[in-house]
Amino acid sequence: MPIKQSAKKELRKGQRRREVNLKRQKAMKDTLKKVKKIIASGKKEEAKKLMSAAYQAIDKAAKRGVIKKNAAARNKSRLMKLLNK
C-alpha cells in the first residue's frame, strides 16, 4: 500500500479511472454484440439504425484511450463489412 499522500491519491484516481474505462469498454462490447446478433438474424434495416450507436461507443472508447485508434478503425470496418455482406 502507498505511504505518501500523493501516492494514495494516485491510487484512488487509478481506481476511479479503471471503473470508468471498464464501464465504457463494456458498453462498447455490448453494442457490438447487439449489432452483430441483429445482422446474423438478417434484420439489416434494424442493424443500420444501431450502427450509429455502435460507432459512437467505439469512438468514445478510442477517444478515452480504452482501445487504440487503429483498433477502433478495425472494429468499425469489420462491422460495416458484416452489414454489407
* pLDDT (tens digit per residue) in 7-65: 999 999 999 999 999 999 999 999 999 999 999 998 989 999 999 999 999 999 999 99
Look at residue 85 and tell me whether its pLDDT is greater than 90. no
Look up the CATH number of the domain holding residue 47: 1.20.58.110
Residue 4 pLDDT grade (very low, low, confident, very high; cuts 50, 70, 90): very high
Q: How many CB atoms lie within 10 A of CB 49?
A: 11
Residue found under cell 446478433? 37
Find the domain containing 32 and state its range.
5-84
Whole-model pTM: value is 0.83
How does pLDDT run across 68-78, given as a tens digit for each residue?
999 999 999 99
Domains: count for the chain: 1
Distance of alpha carbon 51 from alpha carbon 19, whole angstroms = 25
